[in-house]
Amino acid sequence: MKISPFAITIGIIYFINFISIVITIFVERKKPLTATVWIFILSLIPILGFLLYFVFGRNLRPNQKRIFRLKKEYDTVYNSWLIEEKYLLNNDDELFNDANIAEYKDIIEMNINSNRSIYSQDNEVSIFTNGKDKYEALLKDIENAKETINILYFIIKNDTIGRKMVDLLTKKAKQGVEVRVLYDHIGSFHTPSRMFDKLKKAGGKVTRFFPLSFGTYCSINYRNHRKIVVIDGSIGYVGGINIGDEYMGEAKGKYKKLRPWRDTHIRIVGTSVMFLQERFLMDWYYATKDETVNEDNRLKKFFHNRGGKGKIGVQIVASGPDLTGEQIKMGYIKMINSAKDRVYLQTPYFIPDDSFLEALKISAMSGVDVRMMLPLTPDKNFVYHATTSYIQDLLDYGIKVYLYKGFLHSKMVAVDGRIVSLGTANLDIRSFSLDFEINAFIYDTEFAEKCISIFEDDMKKSEIVTMEKYKARGTWNKTKEGFSRLFSPLL
């Protein structure tokens, strides 16, 4: 009996899918829910499913794991140098500037143990709730830079604010300032490399993180979502605001609907800037293999800021696929578990894993006032439907849910008016385990209460979600939510 070429092809495809399923279960040892979804996809849609798995589903390839091990070796270059600085920090006998923070010392200790996140309390921290104010301050600091400007963004757009920043960086490079720009290739996929030609010609250094090519297709799933700026080793920026007109509510095209755009970013002056600098240099060294940044004189230029004039306690916490564990998520959960009065959360994307969702439920059942704020206007429909599918899980436990009338891109967790975490990590599985992220954990009553006030002001610009309103959202919306939630572990 002659077997047709079509039958042979189908047989090969099913065999490959079977091998992929075996790898998913026994080799890559994915989390059970993620593995189940991939098995479902591979079984239901063999050809498309295999292609999706080939690009998005696999864990890091052996050579990428080797690169990450090499990156840890790079990390030790900075850690060995910084160890002499650590005597300034984490002194058990040292009194907290803010006496209210003493009862949350276990959070500080956990971040030190999980992420080598040194605690310093000599920082000044300013907060921005829109792109315009952040860019105004940032451009002024760049203009005043004397020695070094180090910039890392997930997105740098070729638009008005993007070109303005690059022009200014070019000017500073011509003045002899060392300028480094690192950006994520996927996040800035539509940004032409020629945008940086003038900067490079002026002596600035520009590179992409995980540039896409045929040989690096797997890295599409692991992106550098961090936003870090360090100027002269003494001024640092971190938060949710990338470089693009939409962050000021001024973008055209598909981003025009995302108005008003609410975001959060912070400016830090103090010892904690050293650790933003450290993380930038780790990523820069990893992306470029630039040996010159290891020179002793260069390191001292990067890390010459020893102590600040402020009084705010800060820890810089990083997480990503190059690190063991999910450090920022663990920090979030520890904060939520430590709450005695209030937990306020803002995020554009809420796709939690079981541990994070259970922490919120337990906190609410313990009498803590838990409030979640999400955007009313979505930027990514599929992700948004997955996000809204979790609202009933929150409402069932008495957690208040607010939908901000516009697009909310802020990433904030505030506890008891004492502690706040602000940075780049969303409250979703991707930020927890796949993307390179960075957050500042801030310990100060005055600053935390300011963040609570900002949240409460945002509540006035939001719709509260009632169970009646949520259940009346319509069959079609429920169907989209169910479908999106099913595949949310892959987002």
Report the length, in residues, of the chain: 491
Q: Is 380 a catalytic residue?
A: no
Angle between helices 105-115 and 327-338 (to 10 degrees): 170
Tell me which of 157, 185, 227, 480 is the catalytic residue.
227
Question: Of 185, 225, 334, 361, which is the active-site residue?
Answer: 225
Exactly one of 122, 232, 353, 435 is catalytic; name it. 232
Nearest to 115 by CA among 359, 330, 414, 336: 330
Q: Beta-carbon neighbour count of residue 463 at 10 Å?
A: 13
DSSP string, 365-422: HTT-EEEEEEESS-SSHHHHHHHHTTHHHHHTTT-EEEEESSEE---EEEETTTEEEE
Phi first, then psi: what are they for 343, rounded to 5°?
-135, 115
Catalytic one of 98, 322, 353, 416: 416
According to DSSP, the residues that pair with 402 across neighbouring strands are 373, 464
Kindly state the tokens that stand for 271: 């010892």
- Spot the catalytic one: 409, 435, 458, 480: 409
Q: Catalytic: 232?
A: yes
Is the torsion defined by CA of 131, 172, 293, 183 positive or negative?
A: positive
Give catalytic status of residue 409 as yes or no.
yes
Question: For this structure, is 227 an active site residue?
Answer: yes
172, 411, 428, 480: the active-site residue: 411
In angstroms, rounded to a whole number, what is the distance separating the alpha carbons of residues 320 and 255? 28
> Is residue 277 within 8 Å of residue 298, measured between CB atoms?
no
CA distance linking residue 471 with residue 392, whole number of Å = 9
Angle between helices 62-82 and 273-288 (to 10 degrees): 140
In angstroms, rounded to a whole number, what is the distance separating the alpha carbons of residues 485 and 491?
Answer: 10
Which positions are annotated as active-site residues? 225, 227, 232, 409, 411, 416
